[in-house]
Structures are given as C-alpha cells and as structure tokens.
Amino acid sequence: MWINIIGSLRKFGFSIECLKSLRRFISLPVEGEDFNTLELLTYYTGKVLSQKLQTFVLVFSNGSMDIMNNSEYQEATSEVGINNHIKINLNNILKKIFDDVNLEPVLEEMMELTPNEIYLLANARTGNYEYINIQITEHSGLTYGPDDIKKNFIELIDIINNEKFRSISIKVQGKDLISI
C-alpha cells in the first residue's frame, strides 16, 4: 500500500526529499495520541475494507500527511479549511491490492465500530482468517469458515451493529485469537 502511495505522489512530482520527510513523519506519534500515522493508515484501511468508507490520504508539501474519510474531509474543508495538499483515494489503492474485493461504498449508515470490530470485519471481508466464532446466547452460537463469510458478511455486520451477540472471536492466520 505504501508503495502505491509513493507512486501516486511521484506522478504528481513529489520530490525524493519530500518523500523522505513523509517517511519520517509517518513513524512519529500523532499529536496527543498513542499511535503513529502508519497505524492510523492501518486503522483507516480496516474501515475501508469493513465499512466501504470513501477515504483519502492527504499529503502536504511539508512532508506531513493526514487520513480522512469523505465526511471528515468535507467537514474539515468547509469548517476549518485545509492547507494545499495532494489527495490520494485510499479505496482505489486498496482495489489494486484486493482486486477480488468489492469496495464500492454501500454501507453508509453503519454505526461507529471499535478497532477490534474493524479488525474483525477487515479480515472477514478478505477471508484472511481460519474461523470466526459468534456466541449468540449462553447455549447457541455460529462458526464461520472463510467460505461461509462471503455469503454471511451482511449478517455478521447486523450482529455487530445490533449487538446480537455475547462475544465474537476471530482466529486470523498466523495470529492470536482476538475477541470482541
């Protein structure tokens, strides 16, 4: 993904020095937060994959960058104003990487999700997991394998949005089990 962002910037004539500044910037903590810009990019990537939100990477001439979904971008430009920048469509970059995943925005009224829910949905959408267990009640539950989730993805979103579960856990390939 980072290579695609760099390629887009080079097409606009972004200099090697500015790219080096940007590389340094993405590893710095976001002001007032416990994460850096690269981790923020990962978070927004999950939101694009799980919620299909239109999202942009904004790169400024001083070598800094920001990431915003469409509504955040509209709000920032209309209320606060933003310095001149290059706007790169993150959805288009992800379409190149995940060419078999439909990233057209359709889930516009989805509730705000936690980072673990976004992680779950991003991996569920791409099939990058061994299984997903959903405990609905004390005595009933569902288990999805990578083949099941494609037809049940909307059901999974409904379960999360309407809190129709006691717990959900996902076993991502090569990672620890994560529970919501």
pLDDT by residue, tens only, the chain of 180 residues: 778 888 888 998 888 888 888 888 888 888 888 888 888 888 888 888 877 788 999 998 888 889 988 888 888 887 777 888 999 999 888 888 887 777 776 544 454 667 777 777 777 777 778 888 899 888 998 888 887 666 667 677 778 777 788 888 888 888 888 887
In a domain, 55, yes or no: yes
- From CA 94, how far away is CA 83, in angstroms rounded? 26
Q: Is 113 helix (H, G, I), strand (E, B) or coil?
A: coil
> Do residue 74 and residue 135 come from a single domain?
no
Q: Is 171 helix (H, G, I), strand (E, B) or coil?
A: strand
> Do residue 84 and residue 141 come from a single domain?
no
> Do residue 69 and residue 15 come from a single domain?
yes
> Do residue 93 and residue 124 come from a single domain?
no
- Whose CA is closest to 159, among 115, 120, 101? 120
> Do residue 91 and residue 136 come from a single domain?
no
Domain end marker among 42, 64, 97 = 97
Q: Please state the domain count of the chain.
A: 2
- Amino acid at position 137, single letter: T
> Do residue 49 and residue 120 come from a single domain?
no
pLDDT at 72: 84
pLDDT at 152: 66
In a domain, 127, yes or no: yes
In a domain, 125, yes or no: yes
Domain that holds residue 79: 2-97
